[in-house]
Amino acid sequence: MKFRNREEAGQILTPLLTRYAGGSDVIVLALPRGGVPVGFEVARSLGVPLDVYLVRKLGVPGQEELAMGAIATGGVVVINDAVTDSLGIPRSEIDRVAAEEGAELTRRERLYRGSSSAPELRDQTVILIDDGLATGATMRAAVQSVKVQRPQRIVVAVPTGAAETCARIAQEVDEVVCASTPEPFYAVGLWYEDFSQTTDAEVRELLARIANEGRR
């Protein structure tokens, strides 16, 4: 299955999550930036709140598109040992990249939230959404960070993902919902006709739109 864009992907993902519609204890947390347009469609259709959960990929130096791990809100760092060991990346280099990405994570959190605090997740059903799962490092960092806050249930939902990654993450959460698991997978962007980068301005606009709709 190939999606026209992230908006369509969210619309196709939503019917797989209808059992959570209108839940007073349900919140959608989208991973910026690409997960936000997907999460917006899901949260609006389900009638539940939308917020962002900040996670940054730790790219291999010189091969930044290759993830060697990720960092999430709360300082949780997940390392892909298979990548770092095979490439012989020293801990000092991992720490350097993590510090740089941590600074960007803090910048974006201030940009998206302003003075607003992060949502309370204790005893909530948290639906974590991204535009896809390749290695899963980013989502695993989000999951581990969310677990610390003791939600009632964690659901990972994506329009597309590598089957083995979805299966691996399913062992760490209560439920994984993946609309499509094409083989061979290769990369998330291959399964979108339009995979242009979501901007900070678009993230802020979508968060403002759903907040305003919720006040009506």
pLDDT for 145-161, tens place per residue?
899 889 999 999 999 99
pLDDT confidence of residue 60:
94
Please, what CATH class does the domain formed by 6-54+123-136+156-211 belong to?
Answer: alpha beta
Which residue spans within the chain are E strands per DSSP?
26-30, 50-52, 55-60, 63-72, 76-79, 125-129, 153-160, 175-180
Q: How far apart are CA 4 and CA 160, in angstroms?
A: 13
Helix 35-46 and helix 200-215, axial crossing angle in degrees, nearest 10: 10
pTM summary value: 0.85
pLDDT confidence of residue 146:
92
Average pLDDT, the chain: 92
Q: How confident is the model at residue 65 (pLDDT cuts 50, 70, 90)?
A: confident
pLDDT at 52 over 70: yes
Domain locations along the chain: 6-54+123-136+156-211
The β-bridge relationship of strands 63-72 and 76-79 is antiparallel
How do the residues of the chain divide into helix, strand and coil, expressed in percent and rounded to 5?
A: 45, 25, 30
30 contact partners, CB below 8 Å, separation of at least 6: 36, 38, 39, 40, 43, 50, 51, 52, 53, 129, 130
* 175-180, strands of its sheet edge to edge: 50-52, 26-30, 125-129, 153-160, 175-180
pLDDT confidence of residue 118:
81
In order, the DSSP letters of 181-214 are --SS---GGGGBS--PPPPHHHHHHHHHHHHHHH
Whether residue 184 is preceded by a cis peptide bond, meaning omega within 30 degrees of 0, is yes
pLDDT in tens, 176-194: 999 999 999 999 999 999 9
